[in-house]
Amino acid sequence: MVKKQEQKAQVIGIVSNEFTNPYTLTLLNELTRQLNERGCITLLLNVNSRDSYQTALQTAAQLHINGLIFLDSISGFGEQRNSKRR
């Protein structure tokens, strides 16, 4: 009898800085539901500054996360920094 090799669950990180926003929570609820239905494990990474954004990315790399989904204005951290230089 040949045993099927067990597949490892895919871990998907969701990076956001607005977990208190009701629209984000609605999106997050549906997103995690859909990922869970597909056998994925979701990991929430809350960021509130450039430093915590960098820490979240480092954490994702250390945990060998299979993918990241970015919600909200995460990319705005770089724009804020660049606008201060003008």
Residue 4, in any domain of the structure? no
Crossing angle between the packed helical segments 50-62 and 76-84, to the nearest 10 degrees: 140
Task: Taking the CA atoms of 32, 35, 40 and 44 in sequence, report the sign of the dihedral they define.
Answer: negative
Q: What is the pLDDT of residues 62-72, one digit of tens each?
A: 988 999 998 86
pTM: 0.70
Domain that holds residue 47: 11-84
Q: What is the pLDDT of residues 10-55, one digit of tens each?
A: 999 998 887 888 888 899 999 999 999 999 999 998 888 888 888 8
Residue 57, in any domain of the structure? yes
What's the structural domain count of the chain? 1
Alpha-carbon gap, residue 84 to 66, rounded angstroms: 35
